Amino acid sequence: MVIVIIAVAMASCYQNKTSENAETPPLLPFRTIQGEAQGTTYRITCVNDTNDFTIPVDSILKRMDSDLSLWVDNSLIRRINDFSRTDTVFAFYDSTKFFSVAFDISREVWQRTDGAFDPTVYPLVELWGFGLSNAGEVNDTEIDTALASVGFEPSQIDMIELESGYKYKETQIRKGNPTSKLDFNGVAQGYTVDVIADYLSQQGVENYMVELGGEVMCRGLNPQGEPWRIGLDKPEGLIRDGLQAVLTPGNRALATSGSYRKYREIDGKRLSHAIDPKTGRPVEHSVLSVTVMASSCAVADAYATAFLVMGLEATSEFLGQNQDLGLEVYVIYEENGTLQTLVSPGMENMISAVEAPAQ
């Protein structure tokens, strides 16, 4: 996410003066669904729609958790992580394809970023205390041990989808490394946004905004009959201090990753939750947050995670060499004690305003 930890920042998805804080009343009828899911909040606004999608949205959120959440007992991903045999496979029927899609997107981004995005980083996430357990001080031996389990090469862990007569039969997970464990937190929220957005489109809804934990997908117009506007938080101090910028993404997705609010302190040193899969340590560079715009929220989410790991120079170089991906970015970084930004040309054209801090 672009601004420091604009990650959670975007959560307040600023919608060009929607009904709650509108200076002018909505011109179009709309319905809002909101609540808590995946350890954060979500908000869905459907414009010019009379149907209540609360139940199907809740169903999607619960099924996504049952497949991809590390926090749900006996979830599919936890059962796969617990599987440690190399002489056979973990086989299951992937009725939703949530796991398969998350795996495939992760593999592609892993390949493109030379491993900066790596869902097998889970042992390191746990080691540094950002997972299910709390950790204390970490030593080199522990890092080396955890690194031995990290690696998304097919020889380490692979997914195979079997067919019979051109019909899907089952999915198999093969582990070459018995200690390999997956963590799709860098893509799952964005992917959930995509799934909900696809569902709404299938139901004939043309104008909507889906936001989950700061990851956003917009389609059509807002209740004022205008393009959706999404606010990016400004990283000042340890609290929100107004908006860094307001974007008009059109029919595209935005995802943010940042180390501004999600961190740990050991001996007074702040450690980012972004773990470099190659060094096994939290990243230490000037980037505070990265916001990525893409056609898919899952893709935007994964690349935002990767760019936060890669840092400013590597991200800038990557964008120049991978223009075919169609990514736009808004990076906030610190230089000589001041906040600076790196904004791609396409993103610059979508900045509609910079808002003053709320009084």
Query: What pLDDT score was predicted for residue 18?
Result: 35
Which residue in 215, 147, 141, 217 sits closest to 181, CA to CA? 147
Last residue of a domain, one of 150, 175, 200: 175
**At which residue do the structure tokens 């006996």 appear?**
74
Which token pair is 82? 């617990």
Which token pair is 223? 């209740």
Same domain (yes/no): 121, 258: no
Same domain (yes/no): 74, 219: no
Query: What pLDDT score was predicted for residue 7?
Result: 29
Same domain (yes/no): 226, 244: yes
Which CATH number characterizes residue 270's domain?
Answer: 3.10.520.10
Query: What pLDDT score was predicted for residue 353?
Result: 58
Query: What pLDDT score was predicted for residue 8?
Result: 28
Residues 6 or more apart whose Cβ sits within 8 Å of residue 348: none
Paired with 46 in beta bridges are 31, 208
Q: Are 174 and 89 in contact (CB under 8 A)?
A: yes
**Within a domain: 97:** yes
Which residue in 56, 24, 2, 5 sits closest to 210, CA to CA? 56
Query: What pLDDT score was predicted for residue 338?
Result: 85
Helices (H) and strands (E) in the chain, counts: 10, 16
**Within a domain: 348:** yes
Q: Identify the domain containing residue 341 by its residue range.
A: 6-59+186-353
Q: What's the total number of domains in the chain?
A: 2
Q: Are 179 and 123 in contact (CB under 8 A)?
A: yes
Query: What pLDDT score was predicted for residue 283?
Result: 86
**Within a domain: 127:** yes
Which residue in 345, 302, 295 sits closest to 320, CA to CA? 345
Which CATH number characterizes residue 140's domain?
Answer: 1.10.3980.10
Same domain (yes/no): 89, 125: yes
Distance of CA 128 to the CA centre of its chain: 20
Last residue of a domain, one of 175, 202, 229: 175
Query: What pLDDT score was predicted for residue 28?
Result: 85
**Within a domain: 336:** yes
Same domain (yes/no): 228, 346: yes
Read off the pLDDT of residues 214-267 as tens digits, 9 standing for 90 and up: 999 999 999 999 999 998 887 654 444 577 889 999 999 999 988 655 545 555
Cα–Cα distance between 336 and 288 in angstroms, integer? Answer: 14
Same domain (yes/no): 310, 254: yes
Last residue of a domain, one of 146, 175, 204: 175
Which residue numbers in the chain have pLDDT < 50? 1-22, 132, 237-240, 263, 355-359
Residues 6 or more apart whose Cβ sits within 8 Å of residue 70: 77, 78, 81, 122, 131, 132, 183, 185
Cα–Cα distance between 213 and 234 in angstroms, integer? Answer: 17
In the sheet that holds 287-294, the strands lie side by side as 30-37, 40-47, 207-212, 215-219, 253-258, 287-294, 328-335, 338-343
CB atoms within 10 A of CB 147: 18
